[in-house]
Amino acid sequence: MQVTGSVFLREGFEATGTVRLHGATIGGTLDCTGGTFTNPNMEGFGLRLDQMTAGSLVWANVTVHSTTSISFRHAAVGVLADDQNSWPAQGHLLLDGFTYTRLHETAPQDPPTRLKWIRRNPNYQPQPYEQLIRVYRAAAQDREARHIAIAKQKARRTSGKLQPWQKPFHWLFGGVGYGHKPYRAIWALLAVILIGSAIYTTAQHADALAPTRNDTATANQCTSAYPCLQPLIYSIDVTLPIINFEQRTYWLPDTSTNHGTWVQYWMWASILVGWALSTLFVAAITGLIKRD
């Protein structure tokens, strides 16, 4: 069907069964304001707009029976004007391939509400998320776009579509918001450094850190003949792989003591965590982690 103007299924329009506008071309608006769509067949469609194109779609104050599905698959509209109360029930809104240029100012704009809309799609499909990301970015709403991009990756993780070997990496990348929140790695590194500083301070007072090149020096006594132990600098030296203050060159845990053994375990762990977090940070800011 080709219509140069608009199509109105509104203000008292009622349909029992399936309204099919498959492949229709509508030059103006498809307006469904106040319409009612019911299909008495269980899991039946009330409206199918598959591969339809229209200048805009108005989907407000619409009544859809609880078991009736609405399909927007591979439809394309310029402006989408909808409201939350008009959406079909969970699992009855088919959105795969649906594209729209922008959201009307009367439509829900915030990411949490739009995510509820996308999640009414029966299965995880990436396209509805990616489409909303494009719309937000076109409107210079980068923060909202990041919110949807992260939600997409979380939905993918719980969809069962990841291979077993992908799951640990996907979980790890989630720590930096899948590339959208690299600062999380910095805060985690800072936390590790501060905890390490406290641990090395305790070890210093317990003489659990021993000099590597001088038998007479102690962690508690600083002399001009040997570099002093600085717990905070020592923690930075251990945790950050790209920094070398040479504290580890001159001081190591004394494993002859029980306290020193645990300090060594912490040192090994913080080295591994430091490498992992630093790598995540670099991968996030350079775009090596796929953002969307």
Contacts of residue 60, defined as CB under 8 A and 6 or more positions apart, other chains included, come to 32, 33, 34, 81, 82, 83, 86, 106
Residue 202 placed within a domain:
yes
Q: Is the pLDDT of residue 237 over 70?
A: yes
The distance in angstroms from the start CA to the end CA of the chain is: 36
Q: For residue 292, what pLDDT is reported?
A: 65
State residue 93's pLDDT score. 96
Structural domain contains residue 175 = no
Domain span at 56: 2-160
| 103 and 203 both lie in a single domain | no
- Asked if residue 201 and residue 106 are part of one domain, the reply reads no
Per-position b or e across 2-18, b if 16+ CB within 10 A of its CB? eeeeebebbeebeeeeb
Tell whether 141 and 194 lie within a shared domain: no
Same domain assignment for residues 198 and 56: no
φ, ψ of residue 48 to 5 degrees: the values are -120, 115
pLDDT band at 288 (very low <50, low <70, confident <90, very high): low
Q: How many domains does the chain have?
A: 2
Verify that 17 and 139 share a domain, yes or no.
yes
pLDDT confidence tier of residue 178, bands split at 50, 70 and 90 = confident
**How does residue 185 score in pLDDT terms, banded at 50, 70 and 90?**
confident
- 13 & 150 share domain: yes
Task: Tell me: do 64 and 148 sit in the same domain.
Answer: yes
The answer, yes or no, to whether residue 290 has pLDDT greater than 70, is no
In-domain check, residue 258 = yes
Whether residues 280 and 208 share a domain: the answer is: yes
Residue, of 222 and 121, whose pLDDT is higher = 121
**AA identity, residue 41:** N
Residue where one domain finishes, among candidates 145, 160, 175? 160
Q: pLDDT per residue over 129-141, tens digit each?
A: 999 999 999 999 9
> Could you report the per-residue pLDDT of 33-42, keeping only the tens digit for each?
999 999 988 7
| Shared-domain flag, residues 85 and 204 | no
Closest CA to 93 of 134, 113, 129, 123: 123
- pTM, rounded to two decimals: 0.74
Which of the four pLDDT bands, split at 50, 70 and 90, describes residue 243? confident
Are 144 and 213 contained in the same domain? no
* Average pLDDT score over residue span 214-235: 83
Regarding whether 93 and 217 lie in a shared domain, the answer is no
Residue 37 inside a domain? The answer is yes
Classify residue 178: in a domain, yes or no: no
Mind listing the pLDDT tens digit for each residue in 14-24?
999 999 999 99
Q: Is the same domain home to 189 and 155?
A: no
Output the CA–CA distances (angstroms, integers) from residue 47 to 5, 70, 71, 79, 99, in the order listed: 20, 5, 6, 19, 17
Task: Please check whether residue 165 lies inside any domain of the structure.
Answer: no
Exposed, middle or buried: residue 42 (CB in 10 Å: 0-12, 13-18, 19+)? exposed
Q: Of 84 and 212, which is predicted with more confidence?
A: 84
- What mean pLDDT comes out for the span 148-157? 89
Question: Would you place residue 220 in the very low, low, confident or very high pLDDT band (cuts 50, 70, 90)?
Answer: confident
Output the pLDDT for position 289.
Answer: 64
